[in-house]
A and B are shown apart, each in its own frame.
Chain A
Amino acid sequence: MGGGKWRVGSGKTNYQLIALFLASFTTSHILLPISCLSEERHLTVAAASDLSFALKEIAGKFEKDTGIKVILSFGSTGILSHQIENGAPFDIFFAANLKYIDALKQKGLIVPDTSRVYAQGRIVLAMNKKFGGGIKRLEELASPSIRRIAIANPDHAPYGIAAKEAMMRLGLWDKLKPKLIYSENIRQAVQFIQTGNAVAGILSQSVADVPELEYALIDDSLHTPINQAVAVIKTSKAEKEARAFINYVNNPEGRAVMKRYGFLLPGEF
């Protein structure tokens, strides 16, 4: 590619360039459908990000057993439910809070008999080991050595709401508020602490088990139970497969995985 070749003439339109442009336009449109998943059977699952480890594992097993590919899209429950209201093409929604599923049900956006509570989540107090770790009580967050505390956004993320409730119950909210950093979802809060950008934080137990962190369970009487619910979305074109996946999460194999990530399961609470 010599310099002269790429220099665009000052009198004539560069038709080579137009041709290149049109060619890339058409090829990108012809090529893409081939690489797309439209051919194989698949489920698109919207899931609260506290499930990011557990559901990935379960989806992998489900794929192996049934041959149905599961595409997981993680985010905060509030944002995902807003996307579903706006027509996002999901088959299943694993919310971190029953309230959101109920609200969607009222709007007629989910298949009514598919909604159910699949787990109860716990919040934990976590701290980066680099800063000492070993934090046990929420009161310790007031210590001046803890400059930043990560929680999920208490306006829309269920684990953020629970964290706020617990701090308010102990009368710590006003004192800690200036140090709080809100993440968009719980997985991002973990990342804030993992990287040391926040010293400590309140997380869901299911995502707190990473090498950089040490955590302690927070008494669950300090907040409203985090009942996590799931449902099949009305617009799903794969309702049968979607039902199968929900059942899979609650079968012995799925339950074993969920338990390992610290969830309480139906029948245990």
Chain B
Amino acid sequence: MDIFPLYLTLKVSVTATFFSVIIGLGLAYLMARKGFWGKGVLDALIMQPLVIPPTVLGYYLLVLLGRSGPLGRFFEDKLGVSIVFTWKGAVIAAFVASLPLFVRPARAAIEGVDRNLENAARLLGKTEWEVLKTITIPLAWRGIAAGSVMAFARATGEFGATLMVAGNIPGLTQTLPIAIYDAVQMGNTKMANILVGIITLFSFSVLYFVNRFTRGRY
């Protein structure tokens, strides 16, 4: 059996989760601790992928990142990289889809950190960065961990947007969910069963560990 889809799915979802966590942590902190103009709009924008159909998301990405899209042209002309129909496209789709799943619990967890503790650290002469590093993030750790795992699981299962942005090219952009779709379409029931088994086992263990992490808090 060709294990490429498994490799690719891991590569794509780990990369997407990486960006979701880095960027999402900044966003979660901003949302939890700062008030600024347009906050509600930004919040709604980040949460969009949870409610719009993945195909709509895929369409937006294709229009934006495609050869004739503004971002796509920029990347191709200035940097010489094309995004659509490469694994990078799959990463972007998985990133956008998984970001809200990280930001939500991370934000809630940061909001749950007692501000008195942060202020006490400030009074004791800690810089903002030190407060974040030694007080806020450690205390919000469970939410952040749970968010990361949920984001990872979502990235692994991303299908609709990925199919539109990255296509279905075996050995190049065919992730596990797309390989399943392909196998079912081609009437390859045996392959479909194996892949479905793998992904079910995987998602089950992810959720199991999330529950252990968080002890039923989320």
Contact = CB atoms under 8 A, between A and B. Distances in A.
Nearest to A44: B169
Given A21-B21, A71-B169, 6 more contacts: A14-B141, A32-B8, A83-B167, A88-B169, A185-B185, A210-B187
A88 to B, nearest CB: 4
Contacts of A89: 82, 85-86, 169, 172
Contacts of B212: 3, 6-7
12 contacts: A13-B137, A21-B17, A35-B7, A44-B169, A71-B169, A71-B171, A74-B168, A83-B167, A86-B85, A87-B85, A88-B85, A185-B185
A79 B167 CA distance: 10
Interface residues of B, number: 44
A13 B138 contact: yes
Interface string B6-23: 011011001101100100
Contact of B167 (A14, A35, A73, A187): A73
Given A35-B4, A88-B85, A8 B213 contact: yes
A8 B209 CA distance: 12
A90 B138 CA distance: 48
A83 B8 CA distance: 20
A64 interface: no
Interface of A: 3, 6-14, 17, 21, 24-25, 28-29, 31-32, 35-37, 42, 44, 49, 52, 71-75, 83, 85-90, 185, 187-188, 190-191, 194, 210
Contacts of B184: 191
B148 interface: yes
Given A88-B84, A194-B187, A73 B62 contact: no
Nearest to B72: A87
Contacts of A52: 186
A85 B142 CA distance: 45
A146 to B, nearest CB: 22
Contacts of B185: 49, 74, 185, 187-188, 191
B53 interface: no
A39 B86 CA distance: 17
Contacts of B137: 13
Given A28-B11, A32-B8, A194-B187, A71 B85 contact: no
Interface centre among A6, A17, A28, A42 (most CB of B within 10 A): A28
Closest 10 CB pairs of A and B: A87-B67, A88-B85, A86-B66, A28-B11, A73-B169, A13-B138, A28-B14, A32-B11, A188-B185, A71-B171
Contacts of A86: 62, 66-68, 84-85
